Amino acid sequence: MVKKVAKSWSSEIQKVIFTHVLLIGLPAIFYGYLLLSGWALVGPRAFVLTLFLLNAVMIIIESSNAMFRRFAAHRRQFNRPSEQTLNQVKAWMGVGGAEYPYPLEPVPRCSFLVAAYLPNEQSIIVETLRHLLSHIERPAGGLEIILAYNTPVDLPIEAELHQLAQHHAELTILRVEGSRSKAENINAALDIATGEIACVLDADHHPGSDCFRRAWHWIAQGYDVVQGRNVIRNHGENFLSQNIAIEFEQLYGISHAAKSFLTDSSIFGGSNGYWRMSVLKQIRFNPSRLTEDIDASLRTLLNGYKILHDRSIVTSELAPTSLKTFWFQRKRWAHGWLEVSLLYQRRLWRSPYFNSWQKLYWTYLLYYCESFALISLQLLPVLLAFLLVPGAVSEQMRVYFLVAGGLSIFSGIYQILAAAKIASRRYPLAYYLKHVLFLPVYVTLKNSIAIVAIYDYLNGENTWVVTPRDAQPQKRYRLKQG
């Protein structure tokens, strides 16, 4: 098994070399030939720089929007005229999350649906279950916790799990025979779940004590899914986990939050998502998708249901601590996003449940963001061609390059500063400084992963590697077709 993983890692490096030579080296030679032939290449340069500019503007808009405090809270009383005016301005900007009336009804019965591949997560699952049993506020309607797991072999930890369930009536241990995915585990748990609200959790997640109370605030207002905020629990382990921690503050604190506030729609991120049980039982999860969460999100929205992001509903999780683990995790994400984008984008355009603004924004999320790694990479061959042909850059294009490049750099730093302002916890200043300095390399790494994911998709490669939670060897899976 270890040899297979090592071999796959070597294959990934070969893919990186091949795709980048193909996408950078050959276009650079071609552009250089065109420049030597008298072509100005104004169109390709302007197109790529404009994409950088648009991406930077969107990051700045999202970061500015997300810095407002918006989450479920009791309605405030504004006594001073200045406070009333400020609140009216915020409402005009769509900043009204905390102004929803708090539901008077008590929180109904709730269910935690915890999915686990037990050989990979046997060292952490008991800790997670004990956290849910001892730290979560009990809803008035009651609480149930269902651990739905799969394992190819019997494990000693199963006896400990059943013993824990004997001492806690709200805990159910469900071994899903024949399952090869998280989707199948959760679907099996749905067949026996009895709550009105279901929280889907990965095995390493530790949600906050008031999670159901905050989620119920929105579900009682008519929302069908509430996605919470994921933060990194092992952020201090190494340099990579520190960067992922800051990235998650940007992702869940800014990008997802702003998307929800700007368009009144969002995504379910795979864990720490709170569903109206009747909706989840209708949608369920597709085991044939690499990212079953994004697939379920699009099907939920296309069926007319509403998803909201509330960054005050916080859960902690474990980040990858090695480059290999990070690479395979992010490649699966990128591959899954591409799969969902190609599958649902046209249906989204035709859907009566999306307004024009939502269609435009989701096109940006699905097509533009997914293709940005490919398109932005074309800036390098253009620049290489100009180095090969001195004097080929006009003064106007040089100014445009400085504006687009400068704004792109500023937007990245601005987003990090915004993330520091609204961060869920106080991280050391060194984390942010390291992330700023490492940002070009980090973005390049993620773009390289996205390009390899596109390459795999075009070649019909759909295997994925389990994200390890401890020192256990990585296991590769091939998705079911269907």
State the pLDDT confidence band at 461, using cuts at 50, 70 and 90: confident
**Top mean-pLDDT range of 85-89, 255-259, 457-461:** 255-259
- Residue 231 is classified by DSSP as E
State the pLDDT confidence band at 205, using cuts at 50, 70 and 90: very high
Q: Using DSSP, state whether 289 is helix, strand or coil.
A: coil
Query: For residues 245 and 319, is the Cβ–Cβ distance under 8 A?
Result: yes
Full strand arrangement of the beta sheet holding 110-117: 171-175, 143-150, 110-117, 197-202, 273-276, 225-232, 307-317, 206-207
CA dist., res. 361 & res. 265, Å (int) = 10
Mean pLDDT of 304-325: 94
Residue 478 has pLDDT above 50, yes or no: no
pLDDT reported for residue 230: 97
pLDDT tens digits for range 31-63: 666 666 666 556 666 777 788 888 899 999 999
State the pLDDT confidence band at 480, using cuts at 50, 70 and 90: very low
CA dist., res. 12 & res. 6, Å (int) = 10
Residue 291 exposure: Cα atoms within 13 Å on the Cβ side: 25
Q: How many other β-carbons are positioned within 10 Å of the β-carbon of residue 396?
A: 10
Mean pLDDT of 281-291: 95
pTM of the entire structure? 0.86
Q: What percent of the chain has pLDDT over 70?
A: 83
Residue 187 has pLDDT above 90, yes or no: yes
Residue 246 has pLDDT above 90, yes or no: yes
Lookup: tokens for 327: 């690479």
Mean pLDDT of 99-118: 85
Choose which CATH entry (3.90.550.10, 3.40.190.10, 2.40.30.40, 3.40.718.10) describes domain 1-69+103-482. 3.90.550.10
pLDDT reported for residue 14: 85
pLDDT tens digits for range 134-160: 999 999 999 999 999 999 999 999 999
Query: For residues 188 and 176, is the Cβ–Cβ distance under 8 A?
Result: yes
Over 413-444, what HEC string results? HHHHHHHHHHCCCCCCHHHHHHHHHHHHHHHH
pLDDT reported for residue 32: 65
Q: Which of 83-87, 360-364, 420-424 has the lowest mean pLDDT?
A: 83-87
pLDDT reported for residue 19: 81
Distance from chain centroid for Cα 220: 25
**Residue 380 burial (10 A CB sphere; 0-12, 13-18, 19+):** middle
pLDDT reported for residue 384: 66
Mean pLDDT of 289-297: 94
